[in-house]
Structure 1
Amino acid sequence: MSRPHDGHPPAFPFGNPFRMIFPRRSHQSPKIVGLLNSFEENLAERMKKLKLKDQGSVLSLFWMRLAMELLSETYADIKVLITDLQFPVADWDEKLMDIYLDNSVKLLDICLAYSSELARINQAHLLLQCVLHILDTSRASLSQEQLLCAHSSLGDWMKQISLRNPKLENCSTILNGLIESLHLNKVKNSTKGKVLIRAMYGVKVQTTFVCSIFAATFSGSSKPLVDLHVADKFLWAEVFIDLQANVNGVVRSLASNGSPTLLKELEAVEVNVKRLYPLIGSDGNGPVEEETLQNSVLDLRKSSERLVQGLDLLSKEVEGFFQIVLTGRDALLGNLRVDNSDSYSRTENNVESRL
């Protein structure tokens, strides 16, 4: 897939891809139409909740946790929709099945990369805990050895945070693979199948958007961002286009300003670390007022506590989403008929080996 010169993944002008899904003269059951409309309306409401009220709310752990929570709700909704449609796995289009299984593995890979990054940041926090433990007293009571230890730990923290996680390297490539799967393919001549693929398209759009924001946040770059063009036939299309322009615009603005990190809580900790680092000095004898030092320590303590709390909550949401994807995938594979076709067996074996 070719990339434009600005380094961002290409947008896909789908036009109106649902001409082949819902022909004008096709008869649709009111019940099925109601199920689809309900799904799309719920999706639109979730997207509304993610719109930023101000630039300061972007890329916070709270926003990221909300985005992952709402994404999990959408996956729960698609499961309910499949049940309500009474659309058994045996009736799934083979190509749709292949895309679903392949995408599930991509999502599991992405979740593992994000969990790895959250764990890395959390691990580095142990250095700050050491510093705060040492400095939890008056400067006069500290020995030169203790000050040197605290100073060294702060330096080590800054070095660790500045490192890039190699497990995040492939996220952009994986995201591009998800984008390619957004192309809607023909399915069996089944109204239920067409409803399902339309609903799954909405799920994939939301998934791609959220994952691209996460990738940009963790990488500190706007390159992972994607700009998707969707057909105006969706009930959630207008809300999504507004949301995408809103969030992507703020992220690109922050990245262009050269922010050291795009994660709000982590940036606050980094600011306080850099403020405290010279105060204790490499020799522990800098002329610093006691009140100034204690205020800096207090600020670092507060910001680091907010960071850790946010990391823990987000980690649980990522793990929960991982389990939803894994469970859904395993349930689908478990329902495949053994004598259905060799292609399903090859797909299952390929997915298992990749996982």
Structure 2
Amino acid sequence: MSHPQDPHRAFFPFGNPFRMILPKGLYLSHKLLALLNAFEDTLAERIRKLKPIDREDVLSLSWMRLAMESLCETHNDIKVLITALELPVCDWDEKWIDVYLDNSVKLLDICIAFSSELSRLNQGHLLLQCVLHNLNSPSPKQFVRARASLDSWRQHINSKNPRLENCFATLDNLTTTLNLPKVKNSAKGKVLMRAMYGVKVVTLFVCSIFASAFSGSAKRLMDLQVLETCSWAEAFTELQAFVNGGIRNMVSSGRVMVLRELEAVDITVKKLYPMIQDGVGPVEAEAFQISISDMGKRTEKLSQGLDVLAKEVDSFFQIVLSGRDALLCNFRVGSETSNVEEQQVSR
């Protein structure tokens, strides 16, 4: 695992991941090849659509929503592919199942961490609402109360979420499973493992961006090196370079790495705070009201964006959870069927 202070982290460190999963001489039928090509073409198109026009849009809640929405669709695609492959769970290698179940638990933990951070950020909305309420109040103590609420908001926003720190260790651990177990004489298994590789690469990339954005640090961004023979590899490499490069350039220029909508609110807070502290004279009255109006609009935009993104993260959580439950259920059914057949043969 790379050290936290390293500016770049390159993966895959274990060599060619398909040396293990693409046995020589294993024939793919036209049907299986068509399924794999369709899956990878769709994945490539989704990756291309994630490239923002402006690099700074990456740290916006709207782009993050699109990224999580795309991730949900990709994970749904792998479910559809598994069904189309008609590969019973009982035919899965035990190592595949172990890796899948272990990875799904880690993804669920990451989702919980992201949800907790979105909830924490949204809690600050109440403090800002108190500020707006007090500033629109005729009470002589309005400035004192508003200033106290702003101080509380700043303290709240600048506090750290310990769950986010755990995300980076989890993501590092997940990269080690990109080198999947060997596929033993199974063409369908070959297709499944290759498709899962693409899903895991995109999942790691998106979750890395989220964890870095929420923590406010670009030091832990991942730079994944992917197999060039995948049809989506070029689109992914271009997206990753554009996104990670943009974030690092922003940080190197001296800007604090925060969500754009949160930064917009903070700008209005910094304008309002000295006015509240020193008082507002007749000359500053108009500028003061404009700042209050701006903060109200930006606060509402931030809150709405957090709510929408939280719903997408919850959707991803449910998709991962349902996929895990379905696998376990099918595995139990397959095991029970095998046991019944063995008992009938023994009689």
Asked whether the two chains share a fold, i.e. TM above 0.5, the reply is yes
Distance in 2 separating the partners of 1:233 and 1:246: 21
Q: CA deviation at 1:256?
A: 2.5
Distance in 1 of aligned mates of 2:334 and 2:305: 48
What is the match of residue 319 of structure 2? Answer: 324
User: For 2:90, what is the secondary structure of its paired residue?
Assistant: helix
> Displaced runs of 4+ in structure 1, greater than 6 A?
none
Matches within 5 A, 1:1-355: 1-3=1-3, 6=6, 8-13=8-13, 16-23=16-23, 25-136=25-136, 142-281=138-277, 284=279, 289-337=284-332, 340=335
Q: CA deviation at 1:134?
A: 1.9
Aligned partner letter, 2:123: Q
In structure 2, runs of 5+ residues without a counterpart are: 337-347
Would the aligned equivalents of 1:9 and 1:176 in 2 still touch at CA under 8 Å? no
| Rounded Cα–Cα distance in structure 1 between residues aligned with 2:76 and 2:231 | 19
**Distance (whole Å) between structure 2 residues aligned to residue 104 and residue 155 of structure 1:** 40
Return the TM-score normalized by structure 1: 0.90
Q: Which residue type is aligned with residue 91 of structure 2?
A: D
Question: Whole-Å Cα distance in 2 between the matches of residues 338 and 23 of structure 1?
Answer: 30
* CA shift for structure 1 position 52: 2.1
Deviations 1:311-342 (A, max 9, x none): 0100000000000001110111112237959x
**Percent of paired sites with the same residue:** 60
The one-letter code sitting in structure 2 at the alignment partner of 1:143 is S
Judged with a 3 Å threshold, the aligned counterparts in structure 2 of structure 1 residues 248 and 4 are, in CA distance, closer, same or farther, namely same
- Structure 2 distance, partners of 1:273, 1:2, is 37
Whole-angstrom distance in 1 between the partners of 2:228 and 2:9 = 22
> In the alignment, is the contact (CA less than 8 A) between 1:89 and 1:332 conserved in 2?
yes
The one-letter amino acid of 1:323's match is Q
TM-score normalised per structure 2: 0.92
Cα displacement (A) at 1:66: 0.3
Q: Using the TM superposition, give the Cα deviation of residue 23 of structure 1 relative to its aligned residue in structure 2, in angstroms.
A: 4.4
Distance change >3 Å, CA 168–CA 21, structure 1 → 2: closer
Q: Distance in 2 between matches of 1:132 and 1:35?
A: 55
CA contact (8 A) 2:20 2:180 kept: no
Q: Unmatched 5+ residue regions in structure 1?
A: 342-355
